[in-house]
Amino acid sequence: MKQLASEFKDFIMRGNVVDLAVAVVIGVAFGAVINALVNDIIMPIIGILGGKPNFDQYYWTINGSKILVGSFLTAVVAFLIIAAAIFFLVIKPLNMAANRFKKPATAAEATTRECPYCLSEIPAKATRCAHCTQEVPALVTTA
């Protein structure tokens, strides 16, 4: 029983499990903020332009069944607004910060070069061309 408890403790204390738990909690909190933004600010603005604050009142009746097109449309608009908010408020700033601190890529050393006589591609360290058999000057490297 002690071994099982120890294994469970090791599982719970893993970094990725704790990170995932924190991400879920922050995601739920962020979702509540974005939902409030959508429902309390953006949808009423859309209502000013379109006449109604949301589209839930729109439905189709077919053979006595209500098809709630408006509810679906409200969910799609909310999703698009949430996706845009996440993109512009989280993803773009994080990418900009990551690019600011990213080290510039160093140029990789070329592994091939061109033969000055026949213009075929040869290994960079070659002293004779495999195609035209001419001696080629050694490649000068700067270190």
Say yes or no: 42 and 7 in one domain.
yes
pLDDT tens profile 91-142 = 899 889 888 887 776 666 778 889 988 989 998 888 899 889 889 887 766 5
Is residue 13 domain-shared with residue 83, that is, in the same domain?
A: yes
Question: What confidence score (pLDDT) does residue 106 get?
Answer: 66
Q: Which pLDDT value is given to residue 92?
A: 92
| CATH code for position 20 | 1.10.1200.120
**Measured in whole angstroms, how far is the alpha carbon of residue 1 from the centre of its chain?**
43
Count of domains observed in the chain: 2
Q: Write the CA distances from 35 to 49, 83, 120, integer angstroms.
A: 20, 11, 63
Residue 84 sits in which domain range? 2-101
Contact 136, 129 (CB under 8 A): yes
Inter-residue contact 69 to 56 (CB < 8 Å): no
| Strands, E assignment, 18-116 | 60-62, 65-67, 112-114
Same domain membership, residue 68 and residue 34: yes
Q: What is the pLDDT at residue 37? A: 80
Flag whether the pTM goes above 0.75. no
Pairwise CA distance, residues 114 & 123, whole Å: 8
pLDDT in tens, 42-71: 777 877 876 766 677 888 889 989 888 888
